[in-house]
Amino acid sequence: MIQIKNLRVELEDFLLQGINLHVAEEEYFVVLGPTGAGKTVLLESIAGLYPVKSGEIWLRGREVTQLEPERRNISIVYQDHALFPHLTVKENIVFGLRLRKQIGQEIDKSLNWLAELLGIVHLLDRKPDTLSGGERQKVALARALSIKPQVLLLDEPLSALDPETREGVQRELRQVHDRLKITTIHVTHDFEEAIALADHIAVLGEGCVKQVGTPEQIFRQPNSEFVARFAMARNIFTGEVADRDDRSAIFHTEGIELVVSSELRGKWHASVRPEDILISHQPLHSSARNSFCGTITQVMDKGSTLYLTVNLPPDFTCLVTRRSFEEMGLAKNQRVYITFKASAIHIF
């Protein structure tokens, strides 16, 4: 579908080079990288908005490297949504359709369909500056989808949103993608966002692509220190959430069951931050809902803190301070208990 061959883009203070990516038809592709890795510039190059120094971009078997953006039919949603402030929501959405000289009836049909799909019918006559972050996001998405793009580019679409809105929009992005089957390239610096949404992930850093793979491959088998830094020290599991009682749920994964507090049910990911895990020699009788016995299989010294890998199985990475490490006399191959609260588990 999209093939990027040996792309080289020059920015003011650094360089993107040797970028090779292949995004398949109808795929949800996530480009993951730290802030300032050139993710936005990569998207703009694909859209034809940023000059390419060398290399090629192919779209459905046709080279488009030098094609003007208005002829590519690739739409983009920016982080701050970039809605046209002088136009109403409705005018924003139909901007691309009007340019295509469609007849009024067709425009209205597309508008209504999109507004219903994204639940923004009641906003159509408003101006962008009266909308909330989540609403703007939906309008920007509707505007981008209106032209039935070959590829949808999303530039950190969730970063500008508050945490509560973010989860909803994230799910909606995936739903819209699954329904419309539009090839999507989404850039983010958020590892969990990438895992939750992607069919494939490319990790971008230091001006080049570090690794491409499925989410599973990226967090299970990082191929470099750089990718590992993103994935490392995170306990991410894939599994299924089921009802437990009124107030909590059970997450089944790899032979263990975690008590979680989440509204979500079905196949999801769960993560626990290493610093939220308590380590003890004896089982803890506390309000924490999850307590397991395991063996320390690895100790990674980071100076004032240490990362311990505790195998139950599966492996959990835990963070301890040097002080407690020494006071407790922890060592490799020791049996210990790990304990964490249900609320410390993030389901996504």
Partner 1 sequence: MSKKWFTTNKMTLTFILLGLIIFLFIIVPLVKMVVASDPKILLETLLDPEVRGAIWLTLCAALLATIVGFTLGIPLAYLLAHTDFTGKKLVEGLIDVPIVVPHTAAGIALLFVFGRNFFVGKVFHFIGIDFVDATAGIVIAMLFVSIPFLIDSAKEGFKKVDVRLEKVSRTLGASPWQTFFRISFPLAWRSILAGSIMMWARGISEFGAVIILAYHPMIAPTLIFERFETYGLDYARPVAVLLIILCLAVFIGLRAIVYRGEKT
As given in the structure block, the two tokens for residue 74 are: 């690739």
- Least Å from the CB of residue 57 to partner 1: 14
For partner 1 (CB under 8 A), the number of binding residues is: 26
Q: Which residue bears the tokens 């009641």?
A: 122
Of 176 and 347, CB closest to partner 1: 176
Q: Are 338 and 294 in contact (CB under 8 A)?
A: yes
Contact pick of 13, 70, 225, 246 for partner 1 (by CB under 8 A) = 70
CA dist., res. 80 & res. 320, Å (int): 38
Is there binding between residue 44 and partner 1 (CB under 8 A)?
yes
Q: Which of 268, 264, 263 is nearest to 252 (CA)?
A: 268
Structure tokens at 186: 């989404």
CB of 69 to partner 1, least distance (A): 4
- Residues facing 2 on adjacent strands: 23, 59
Nearer to partner 1 by Cβ, of 79 and 235: the residue is: 79
Helix (H) or strand (E) holding 47: helix 39-47
269 binds partner 1 (CB under 8 A): no
What is the SS3 string spanning 131-192?
CCHHHHHHHHHHHHHHCCCCEEEEECCCCCCCHHHHHHHHHHHHHHHHHHCCEEEEEECCHH
CB of 208 to partner 1, least distance (A): 24
Among 63, 84, 221, 326, binds partner 1 (CB under 8 A): 84
Closest distance between partner 1 and the C-beta of residue 156, in Å?
13
What is the biggest distance separating any 2 CA atoms in the chain, rounded to whole angstroms?
76
Return the residue of 28, 29, 78, 268 that touches partner 1, per CB under 8 A.
Answer: 78
Q: What SS3 state is found at 294? A: strand
85 binds partner 1 (CB under 8 A): yes
Least distance (Å) between residue 137 CB and partner 1:
14
Distance CA 187, CA 346 (A): 21
Site membership for partner 1, residue 100 (CB under 8 A): yes
C-alpha to C-alpha distance for 72 and 150, rounded to whole angstroms: 8
- Does 160 bind partner 1 (CB under 8 A)? Our answer is no
243 is a site residue for partner 1 (CB under 8 A) = no
Map the footprint of partner 1 across residues 114-153, applying CB under 8 A: 143-144, 146-147
In whole angstroms, the minimum distance from the beta carbon of 153 to partner 1 comes to: 8
Least Cβ distance, residue 81 to partner 1 (angstroms): 9
Q: Tokens standing for 139?
A: 């309008």
List residues near partner 1 by CB under 8 A: 44, 47-49, 68-70, 72-76, 78, 80, 82, 84-86, 95-96, 99-100, 143-144, 146-147
